[in-house]
Structure 1
């Protein structure tokens, strides 16, 4: 008899019984919206992470630099320099307040006074004098300063004198003169081989700037830390300021006749 070679039987209970026509249950499927959300979720690469860290570090550095710049404006100044700047600011505010009160008083005289015609005439004469001083057509005298800029090395340029004039204007100078040239709003400064060209006229060194105004305020404005005195010193020039109760600005600015402007004829009123 031949041996019966049948595969060994599996123990009962270890193999699930399958019925004909039945399939194994499929694994549970995720909802479509969850699959879309997972597919659209950005995946950060190593390069993107490195770029983000660099941007964060750069932003932090910019913030630190801005804060240090904002706080270093006045923190490094001495107490005397801070007091000088405060006094200059206070004097400018007082000068503007006085001008405001004067204008308000003039307005009251013109609108409420019984002699409004005389008040208007006086106001017009005062304005004409003020405008003549501003336009440089009238000489001026009064308290002020005389600033002398020595330039042994020939390093002073027109920008230095512009800064000097601008500092004096901001400090309330009512009349200015550089050498023999009257300085007005339209005066131009330019470099010249023989010095500095002021209003079309060459002014040689040393440059003498005469200003009419409050002497203390004008001299203080030129000594502000980091201002014109420091700029001239770095250029190799020296600034000497003398205050006086009476200085005279005698140079006059010649007005040119208008080329295109003509007086306009009065427009007819609505009643005509």
Structure 2
């Protein structure tokens, strides 16, 4: 046991010396290229799945059914239908390399985490967003953003920073919701102190339909 503990201590010391307190998320062009290539491949497969799902829905529809009104209404209520209009774009990105850490901060605070993106998404929903997208994907109320190593995972795809969140809705209400969010306020404070990117701008947006699954893995209707 003593030998194992000594060896572990040696490994930790070697790792710390090699890192030299920098680069939690290295700027690895090869890794970025792999992530983007795999994300593109997943996007192509998702398009094929969406086309197959649409074909199945068409074949399963009752004969002679001509009025798609109820289905369209449900899609709009579930935020899965295409949506266009004015709204906000929020961009988050890591602090520059070599950022000097102030009191109360560590290296973990110099990179964007899933909870930071999720905080922005949740605030925009509370602000009355009619539809939302993260990176190149349409997301809905059950979509989760997760950290996977140095990337974020959104609905099976992996993305390196910077991260872009788009929300269609009243820009003033959306901006007010961001300002009122305690979680977003923590990120904004870190942005001021460490140089993390936090950019909010108005734009005319055109978000595609949601093409993912609506099945729940764990949650059940109340």
- Out of 189, 203, 206, the residue aligned to residue 248 of structure 1 is 206
Distance 2:189 2:159 in 1: 20
Distance 1:187 1:229 in 2: 22
Whether the 8 Å CA contact 2:123–2:181 is kept in 1: the answer is: no
Whether the 8 Å CA contact 2:83–2:209 is kept in 1: the answer is: no
Distance 1:172 1:191 in 2: 26
Identify the residue that residue 133 of structure 2 maps to in structure 1.
177
How big is the shift at 1:180? 1.3
Q: TM-score, normalised by structure 1?
A: 0.43
Distance verdict in 2 for CA 1:196–1:257, change over 3 Å: closer
Q: Secondary structure at the match of 2:180?
A: coil
How big is the shift at 1:232? 4.2
Deviates more, 1:184-193 or 1:155-164: 184-193
Asked whether 1:224 is paired with 2:177, we answer no
Asked whether 1:190 is paired with 2:146, we answer yes
Whether the 8 Å CA contact 2:79–2:130 is kept in 1: the answer is: no
Q: TM-score, normalised by structure 2?
A: 0.52
The within-5 A match list for 1:132-147 is 132-135=75-78, 137-147=80-90
Q: Secondary structure at the match of 1:223?
A: helix
Gap regions ≥5 residues in structure 2: 1-65, 97-109, 217-222
- Out of 158, 167, 180, the residue aligned to residue 202 of structure 1 is 158
Whether the 8 Å CA contact 1:176–1:211 is kept in 2: the answer is: yes
How big is the shift at 1:206? 0.8
- Out of 189, 194, 197, the residue aligned to residue 238 of structure 1 is 197
* CA-based RMSD: 3.0
| Higher-Rg member (1/2) | 1
How big is the shift at 1:255? 3.0
Whether the 8 Å CA contact 2:124–2:174 is kept in 1: the answer is: yes
Distance 2:215 2:147 in 1: 27
Distance 1:135 1:170 in 2: 15
Whether the 8 Å CA contact 1:148–1:239 is kept in 2: the answer is: yes
Distance 1:162 1:172 in 2: 16
Gap regions ≥5 residues in structure 1: 1-120, 259-272
